[in-house]
Amino acid sequence: MMISRFVLSAWRLVIALPFSLYQGVAGAVCSLLVCGVLLFGHERRKVLWTNLTLCFPDTSFRQRVVWSVQHVYFYLRTFVDRGWLWFGDQDVIMNRVILTNPEKLHALSSQSQRVILLAPHFLGLDAAWTRLSLELNMVTMYSKQKHVELDRLILKGRSRFGNQKLVSRQQGAPELVKAMKSGYPLYYLPDMDFGAKNAVFVPFFGVPAATLTTVGRLSRLLGAQVYPVTTLFKSGYYFVTLHDRLAGFPEESDVECAQYINRLIESKVRNNVAQYLWTHKRFKTRPPGQTNYY
């Protein structure tokens, strides 16, 4: 595919630059592209604005504009940075993706308890995955791409270190359970709308959202402890934080578990609004009788 070959060539070119020069080039290119994306990317712009308006109805118009511009910049920048994440040297990754509390990760990797690393959709989550893969082997679920070449590129980039297991959504939860039973921590993204199947409607920033029940079910089934993982991009570096284990989780019902997780994500997003994935149609699936927001 011509596009993926072009992207691959561009990635290989820019990652060869010294970091200070790379910072300037990547920052300038992404800043220039922001205007183009906001002007001509009608569908993504609509989704972004709709989500911010639904989730922050009391926030000023100006603030939502600022968040929108910042979000598009961070989205583009994290895409460009996948070049060195997927093809750069290990030392580069360790220098640019910083574990804020490595002692927690080391303690976690030494325990026998089954673990779910809960990774909300902050834009730097690929940086977190790659950095964590230098420390431990994990299993995660991914969505297959329509283009075979691009799908192969993503799989190769995300599995380059250690013995990582990437399970497609077509393979389903049984493969995740199998890997977790063999000792793999699960790196799981809990906050995407994949329809009403295996989901419940619970509030996300006050808006009913189809929320997957996977985390609660796996935690109950396997006795797994759940640890949130968040990533902050700042001045060219990614800061990955492993938070404390979720106390009192899992709850008794799928609904209570989903509510718990959405409240948790809300608390993390409020500290870093612009770097959350607002271009995803989080409210695409509606409860019966409700109209489509998008």
Task: Output phi, psi for 92, to 5 deg.
Answer: -60, -45
Q: Is the pLDDT of residue 94 over 80?
A: yes
Is the model's pLDDT at 270 over the cut of 90? yes
- The answer on pLDDT for 230 being more than 90 is yes
pLDDT of residue 153: 78
- CB burial string 183-200: b at 16+ within 10 A, e below: ebbbbbbbbebeeeeebb
Residues near 118 by beta carbon (within 8 Å), at least 6 away in sequence: 188, 190, 215, 226, 227, 228, 229, 246, 261, 264
**pLDDT at residue 97 in the model:** 98
Does position 148 have pLDDT exceeding 60, yes or no?
yes
Question: Which has more confidence, 108 or 65?
Answer: 65
Is the model's pLDDT at 135 over the cut of 70?
yes
Per-residue pLDDT for 89 more than 80?
A: yes
Question: Could you tell me which residues are beta bridge partners of residue 228?
Answer: 118
Residue 145 makes CB contacts below 8 A (sequence gap 6+) with 151, 154
pLDDT at 4: 61
59 vs 156, residue with greater confidence = 59
Mean pLDDT of the chain: 92
